Amino acid sequence: DIVMTQSPDSLAVSLGARATINCKSSQSVLYSSNNKNYLAWYQQKPGQPPKLLIYWASTRESGVPDRFSGSGSGTDFTLTISSLQAEDVAVYYCQQYYSTPHTFGQGTRLEIK
């Protein structure tokens, strides 16, 4: 199985500041035939299901604010929130879909400082 490791486990950021969450996979999730990284990011607020934010490592899902961006390739990925809003308080997960079983990171809890 591909192990996904996120850092940090929790993060406190001031409103309007940048938040950065990292995700590292135990093996590359870059598929050479199409040069795409098989990595997604989700946001989960309390009592709610996860919500897809980013797929192909950097493609924003329709309706997701442009303050959310994804970057990285191979084994190292980053989710950046450029200007933190109060409604961004949540747990964030990365997920690889390069191979089965699909695996998720352990989650990063984002709070307001």
Using the contact rule CB under 8 A, the part of the chain among 15-23, 36-44, 66-74, 76-84 near other proteins is 36-44
Among 38, 68, 77, 92, binds other proteins (CB under 8 A): 38
Q: Which of 11, 22, 61, 82 binds other proteins (CB under 8 A)?
A: 61
- Upper half-sphere CA count for residue 62 (Cβ side, 13 Å): 0
14: its two tokens: 């001031």
**Cα(103)–Cα(113) distance, rounded to whole angstroms?**
30
Contact call for residue 32 and other proteins (CB under 8 A): no
Tokens of 27: 């093996």
Q: Which of 23, 84, 105, 110 lies at the binding interface for other proteins (CB under 8 A)? A: 105
